[in-house]
Each structure stands twice: as C-alpha cells, then as structure tokens.
Amino acid sequence: MHLYLKLLLVAGLSAAGCNQAASSNQAATDTSTAPVAEQQVETANGIAFRKDASLAFVSKSGADTLRKIDIQLAQTDQQREDGLMYRKSMTDDQGMLFIFPDMEERSFWMKNTYISLDIIYIDDKMEIVSIQKYATPLSEQSLPSFKKAQYVLEVNGGFCDKYHIGYGDKISYTK
C-alpha cells in the first residue's frame, strides 16, 4: 500500500510540475484529494511526524505529571497497520497512540520499524498494564501485552526508564 501511495504521489507531483511548466500564467492549484490529516509526508528520516494530540504521563499516586509529549493518533485499521513503520527517527517529545475499539490482549511487532521503541499497553481506564522495552528494530518477534489493553503507546526505546514510567502509571491525552 505504501508503494502505491508513493507512486501516486510522485505521479501527481510530476503532473502538477508539467502543468505549471506548460502554462506559466496558470494559477497554482492544490492537486491533493486526501484530507491533510491522512497524508503521510516522506522525509529524509522516513514518514514525517504529525501532531494530533498532547499526552501526559501521570504517576500512580496521581500527584505528579511525569512527562508530557506530542502524539500522532492511529485510530483506523490502516493507521494502526502503518504505525511507525519506515520512520528513521523520533524525538523524546513524540509518540504514537494506537486506539482500539475494545479491550483485548494485544501483540505488536517491529517489522519495517527502524527505531527501537518502548511499547506501552494501556487499559480502558488509561492505566499502564504492560511495557515491552527496547523493542528490536526490524524484528518480526511478537511483543505481547500479556493483559487486556485498549490503547498502545509507542515511544523511543529507553523512554520508560529515562522518565520513570511504569506499571500502574496513567496517561491522559487531549486533541
């Protein structure tokens, strides 16, 4: 699917460039038909990060905010399938939150994912129930939640250790 979208994008850009070259007096038009939120921009570092919301990690006691980050949301089947594949880098201020319609045991893998990740499994009460730390890039090994989860958050490998994020901590996010 990615290859098809890339070819379509290249073809569209080539056609737009040809149209502008053929008529210098013609006004530039938007050749995009997809909503901006659904476009995935390719950069030298892979797919560009798109901020959809802000997320806060809250300590078990609820007294302290441990860390705040910007997140990209993966809410559709296609967005969840694509995930962070083909990204070459991400900052500690960024992550991707996968939102599922129900609670069940989940399992992720690192196929076509070039950066090490901490994969955080979160239940319907927004509590962290499981963490897979330092997931190996490009691995097809299954990384299960071992408990039911409705949300999965991917952040850089080592993030949880660095910012003291653990089981029982909670998250909250706002669009």
State the pLDDT at residue 1.
Answer: 41
Q: What is the 3-state secondary structure (H, E, C) of the chain?
A: CHHHHHHHHHHHHHHHHHHHHHCCCCCCCCCCCCCHHHCCCEECCEECCCCCEEEEEECCCCCCEEEEEEEEEECCHHHHHHCCCCCCCCCCCEEEEEEEEEEEEEEECCCCCCCCEEEEEECCCCEEEEEEEEECCCCCCCEEEEEEEEEEEEEECCHHHHHCCCCCCEEEEEC
Would you place residue 66 in the very low, low, confident or very high pLDDT band (cuts 50, 70, 90)? very high
**48 pLDDT band (50/70/90 cuts)?**
confident
pLDDT tens column, 109-157: 999 999 999 999 999 999 999 999 999 999 999 999 999 999 999 999 9
In this prediction, residue 169 carries a pLDDT of 97
